[in-house]
Chain A
């Protein structure tokens, strides 16, 4: 049973710089949790606190129900993969993987067996006697992973392990990492600034901003129900309009956002006069070149009339950056190019009220 518990972790550096501000999290046995956020949000500090490279200023760090606040990293039974892989350049692949067992005093036969087993696991059995600089980036990544899990640690910590790989390789490794994590059923905490990585790999994601946890939840939840405008904007792409609630009737809120007026069905937590952010995803807008009803308020949807400023074709979808008549800029996405609008063409966007979330500011 390998649980990681963080309770009220605060990390302050000299000069009153607060990197992490009182965060709490429980990572269950075998769970894959990702800390995601922009650079400088404190995610790496949080991970290094779990690893033992940093001591929290306040709070409780627990691994397996033991308080480990002041336990040094070498006594924590963790495995860690670093951003630059940190393979020992003067040791062979086998010596790298066997290192954790060697320092624990295992005999060489046992180390050998485990090294072979690990090389099988990461599907690189032939690299045994190579030096790290004879490996490609992806191979180094796998060896670093093999080395981290070889001593069967309680917790696997991954610090931006895929950041230095190119896009194609990164996607392959996302799948690989997840496969190996499931196979070993090891409690894993990943740190990344890449929201796509967070969404695709994790059981749960933790969105961090400015030393705080903004939202903790399953990837689908965080994506479809962002708790704050920051989360909405950071995880996936979002259109965000700030405004004031001017009317609530029949489960439909009207939000005045400057010239634009938004309709939203998300009325649960809002009251008349509240300052809110109206948030909607680009894929929820339906795009049309023909103008239908000039005012969509009849069926409770919001309609934007505008012109296409930029059209981006990304292979699997078409992205329209639209300047609306109300002077705003809205991003809309279509799976297939049904609309076939070009740049400078007039276009109409329609948003159903159920797809427009209202978040407190």
Chain B
């Protein structure tokens, strides 16, 4: 008759600790997001509206002067366009070089060889950017392999230094970001069922037609995410332009670094960061839209 009354232990577990535990568990990701992502971003936005004081200081204010300066400056807008251009060229090159590579690896029958190839590609990530950038600086310098070979093949009249230059920067960036593209594409290509390609072949489509009609559309997701990833990473390069380029090859990230580190103008550095962030956001939005479009089409 009293069986329906909860015992003391049950009432504590069901009514007291458990609900709180639930909130605790749910609030953990929210807390991490707020503390480590939202809060710093808000601080950055706030600082970007502050007023700079000579000598590396700033004081609270609510001014859009920094933004006005950015959008009024040919230098900074030019750098923004340059940064987008470098990132765009890097992304396109990574895609063109990376797709056949990823396709080849994905189509290998032997799992062992697939792993070996992927490991080689991933292993280049074990070295820091800086080492790899310096390696390219050496490779492209006047008495080094690349110019020497190029001149003996008649591509260059004489072995001249190819670094620092726009080309050197792009080569270095493609080298650094290619693994991200290949890994993203690889996953996407592996997901395409072999039997779809076989079905296409059995219906009379040649390998190239099959690729155009089946493989390529079905890996659109990988192409978009790989490109977004490389593009966004490229927009933030800081080390590579400094090692493989001269000031004309400096990207926005280098200018942000200079504003903060050399000029001591933290609010303006924050402003450029925010603008760059908005551009990244806009690009991600376009990417999401493209991906969403594909998902809608497949439903």
Contact = CB atoms under 8 A, between A and B. Distances in A.
Contact of B203 (A90, A103, A133): A103
Nearest to A150: B203
A201 interface: no
Interface stretch (B84-92, B209-217, B236-244, B281-289): B209-217
Contact of B204 (A51, A90, A103, A157): A103
Interface in B102-147: none
A220 to B, nearest CB: 32
Contacts of A73: 198, 201-202
Interface in B156-181: none
Interface in A79-101: 79-80, 82-84, 86-90, 99-100
Nearest to A103: B205
A103 B213 contact: yes
A117 interface: no
A151 B298 contact: no
Contacts of A157: 202
B167 to A, nearest CB: 38
A80 B202 contact: yes
Size band of the interface chain A makes with B = 20 to 34
Given A86-B198, A86-B199, A74 B204 contact: yes
Interface residues of B, number: 23
B218 interface: yes
A131 B204 contact: no
A77 B202 CA distance: 8
A313 interface: no
A51 B205 contact: no
A325 interface: no
A293 B218 CA distance: 73
B204 A151 contact: yes
Interface string A95-128: 0000110011000000000000000000000000
A103 B209 contact: yes
Given A88-B196, A90-B218, A131-B298, A79 B202 contact: yes
A99 B298 contact: no
A63 to B, nearest CB: 13
Given A74-B204, A151-B203, A86 B298 contact: no
Given A103-B213, A131-B298, A74 B196 contact: no
Interface centre among B198, B199, B203, B207, by most A CB within 10 Å?
Answer: B203
Interface in B229-274: none
A51 B202 contact: yes
A90 B191 CA distance: 14
A261 B195 CA distance: 52
B17 interface: no
A74 B218 contact: no
A72 interface: yes
Contacts of B210: 74
A99 B198 contact: no
Interface centre among B196, B217, B294, B299, by most A CB within 10 Å?
Answer: B196
A78 interface: yes
Contacts of A77: 204
B213 A99 contact: yes
A152 B218 CA distance: 27
A262 interface: no
B193 interface: yes
Contacts of B297: 90, 131
Interface in B34-89: none
Contacts of A287: none
B200 interface: yes
A147 interface: yes
A82 B196 CA distance: 9
A89 B202 contact: no
A74 B298 contact: no
B206 interface: yes
Contacts of A148: 202-203
Contacts of A74: 201-207, 210
13 contacts: A52-B201, A73-B198, A73-B201, A73-B202, A77-B204, A80-B198, A86-B195, A86-B196, A88-B214, A90-B297, A103-B209, A104-B204, A147-B199
Interface of B: 193, 195-196, 198-207, 209-210, 213-214, 217-218, 294, 297-299
Given A86-B199, A90-B218, 12 more contacts: A51-B198, A74-B205, A86-B195, A86-B196, A88-B199, A89-B218, A89-B298, A90-B298, A103-B204, A103-B213, A147-B203, A148-B203
